[in-house]
Structure 1
């Protein structure tokens, strides 16, 4: 009888415990999403701080400050090296948006954005080195990582000359920004973002009052950059906890169902985690293990390029300065990546050129591991450094 009573008493307790666990999990998720919202708010505030600081520090001399980067190749190299060192194109493009809002010419910023695309692919290339002990596994993983590199390099080869000759991306970006901005005043739904972030930006500007314009502006820029680093780092960590499990499920469900499904899924997952490096790094072990072929993973990588544009677009909605130019460079980033996918994947003889190059490099690197090291150092640091030195002399 006592055993029956004990079981009867324990059953409701067990049910209550089972119910409480999901409630606690739901509460934890709510707090994490609130933290993500606050961090995103601070991100757009940080971009506003950079724009204000740049404007304060340079006054009307912004163009003169960037004379060294009037050469598009120098801008490309700056974007590549900065992103390779920081390992976050989202951070670099957000900083570029803030600088453009403060007076950096859009024409100078366009090659920097292209360079950020190249630099961001270093992360998944480094991840692939974890498979170096197994020859066949390393060949597959290194190929899967470097296909992103070759695609981005091919995009630059195609679009940088077009931009230099005709200003193609700058014109498209200007048109798209014109749909949302009149002069320097945001329209409709964008107004509330700028208004919401104004108190933080104004408070930051108030803290440097009394200093010289150069020192105060520099401190605002440094503070904004530090805040961008911190916010993107912690947003990434939180979103990985909240979404990476689902991201992996989406990848497994989408890869192999065709290129359109792969591109859309890559875009969606990257928007969720706000990091193309995370998305592309997730698929490297899948390729290394042989779970998916390179041609199956390739479209997913292209979608990651498009999804990463969300951070710059978000940042551009709340800037203190030239809102039209900030939104223009954010749309240029999006246009560049979308056109890259349409042109390279849409033209048959270009479609699998990155795949063939990546397969060749993967096989070569698996035979000689020093090739992999030389590739990483050469593409992301040595060659860009030499080009920057030569361009500054010329």
Structure 2
């Protein structure tokens, strides 16, 4: 028995080293992919970059694009990384901010799908669906407060600009300490661009963007899988230690667990069956969910380090917008008792309705994540 145990330990250790190596490779792939999206965007439109997203210049239309894209892909990390790449290619930060907000809303569909696993038991489903949708209502409330404020004052753009200012060289928009990323990513991006330059018209640029987006999706998916396999024990420990303590402890634990597993959908979906089976209460997991919102910002910050040149500062700025939005929304909404209760009460009401008729779930998903955003997007063209 002893010899078998001693043999198993090196094998597990070896497997972990392979996982860490693969994780490093996927991180590099993410950085290259973001650089490809930005480079392809600039290649396609040149100096007319600001006009390409003219249809999204309306903040509400931009918000809807973020919601639909994330609802379809079901990864806010992927969408925000793509947005970072687009900003690196010339998309104005002002236009991208509502997209970032929309990505927060769209990512919560997974929770609702997980709650359907409790559909056979009415009471279980009511609790599970309430847990699943509290994330939705928090994000909807956050956007309904912060988007009008942003339109009127541009405060998120100003705050992120202030945060990114120390990274700027005087008279230059390259970022201090992050220029080494160009050495790592530029050769592969340029060689890919050279191979695609034989294509006529803008097809080369379009192909580079598509390759970049595909690599972002693959790298983030693989990073999430690898992080979960490497960190699942620590994440579970944090998860168990977070429940039943103070709200601040719950928020911090939710943030750390999401950073470890690289997926807010995974973090929040873990809570749904626990609430459905009455192991936890919705109010207990509420702060943990808010921490997941903050933890998912790390991917965009990593993606922004891949950008070099004139637009590097703007790429980092939009990543910081994502972080500032989630932190400020948590402080404001959870910090004010009246606002704190709104997502909870809305989720409870919707949970009661869904328990009575499952058609309410289909109607909710279809309206909030597809029909209403698509309708508004068509009207604002």
TM-score range, shorter chain: over 0.9
Q: Does 1:229 align with 2:229?
A: no
More divergent stretch after superposition (157-166 vs 317-326): 317-326
Aligned 1:308-387 pairs, distance under 5 A: 308-321=296-309, 322-387=311-376
Report the Cα distance in structure 2 between the residues aligned to 1:185 and 1:104, rounded to whole angstroms: 17
Report the Cα distance in structure 2 between the residues aligned to 1:125 and 1:243, rounded to whole angstroms: 25
Q: Does 1:82 align with 2:40?
A: no
More divergent stretch after superposition (205-214 vs 381-390): 205-214
2:34 is matched with which residue?
Answer: 47
Report the Cα distance in structure 2 between the residues aligned to 1:167 and 1:158, rounded to whole angstroms: 13
Report the Cα distance in structure 2 between the residues aligned to 1:163 and 1:212, rounded to whole angstroms: 41
1:9 is matched with which residue?
Answer: none
Aligned 1:1-394 pairs, distance under 5 A: 14-182=1-169, 183-188=172-177, 190-212=178-200, 214-321=202-309, 322-392=311-381
Report the Cα distance in structure 2 between the residues aligned to 1:326 and 1:239, rounded to whole angstroms: 25
Report the Cα distance in structure 1 between the residues aligned to 2:195 and 2:173, rounded to whole angstroms: 25
Report the Cα distance in structure 2 between the residues aligned to 1:172 and 1:270, rounded to whole angstroms: 24
Report the Cα distance in structure 2 between the residues aligned to 1:44 and 1:264, rounded to whole angstroms: 27
Q: Could you say if the C-alpha distance between residues 238 and 257 of structure 1 is closer, same or farther in structure 2, counting changes exceeding 3 Å?
A: same
Report the Cα distance in structure 1 between the residues aligned to 2:239 and 2:63, rounded to whole angstroms: 31
Offset, 1:243: 2.0
Task: List gaps (5 residues or longer) in structure 2.
Answer: none
Offset, 1:212: 4.5
Cα displacement string for residues 195-216 of structure 1 (whole angstroms, at most 9, x for unaligned residues): 2222222222222234446222
Report the Cα distance in structure 2 between the residues aligned to 1:213 and 1:328, rounded to whole angstroms: 32
Offset, 1:27: 0.9
Cα displacement string for residues 318-341 of structure 1 (whole angstroms, at most 9, x for unaligned residues): 114510110000000000000000
1:10 is matched with which residue?
Answer: none
Report the Cα distance in structure 1 between the residues aligned to 2:261 and 2:62, rounded to whole angstroms: 27
Q: Is the 8 A contact 1:50 1:95 kept in 2?
A: yes
Matched residues, number: 378
Offset, 1:292: 0.7
Report the Cα distance in structure 2 between the residues aligned to 1:70 and 1:18, rounded to whole angstroms: 61
More divergent stretch after superposition (355-364 vs 203-212): 203-212
Report the Cα distance in structure 1 between the residues aligned to 2:264 and 2:182, rounded to whole angstroms: 26
Q: Is the partner of 2:380 in helix, strand or coil?
A: helix
Offset, 1:16: 2.4
Q: Is the 8 A contact 1:243 1:273 kept in 2?
A: yes
Report the Cα distance in structure 2 between the residues aligned to 1:203 and 1:111, rounded to whole angstroms: 34
Cα displacement string for residues 325-373 of structure 1 (whole angstroms, at most 9, x for unaligned residues): 1000000000000000000011121012111111111111101111111
Q: Is the 8 A contact 1:123 1:281 kept in 2?
A: yes
Q: Is the 8 A contact 1:93 1:113 kept in 2?
A: yes
Offset, 1:235: 1.3
Q: Is the 8 A contact 1:266 1:303 kept in 2?
A: yes
Task: List gaps (5 residues or longer) in structure 1.
Answer: 1-13
Report the Cα distance in structure 1 between the residues aligned to 2:201 and 2:296, rounded to whole angstroms: 34
Q: Is the 8 A contact 1:239 1:273 kept in 2?
A: yes
Q: Is the 8 A contact 1:139 1:365 kept in 2?
A: yes
Q: Is the partner of 2:286 in helix, strand or coil?
A: helix
Report the Cα distance in structure 2 between the residues aligned to 1:326 and 1:212, rounded to whole angstroms: 29
Offset, 1:102: 0.3
Q: Is the partner of 1:238 in helix, strand or coil?
A: helix
Report the Cα distance in structure 2 between the residues aligned to 1:203 and 1:231, rounded to whole angstroms: 20
Q: Is the 8 A contact 1:77 1:388 kept in 2?
A: yes
Offset, 1:139: 0.6
Q: Is the 8 A contact 1:49 1:320 kept in 2?
A: no
Q: Which has the larger radius of gyration?
A: 1
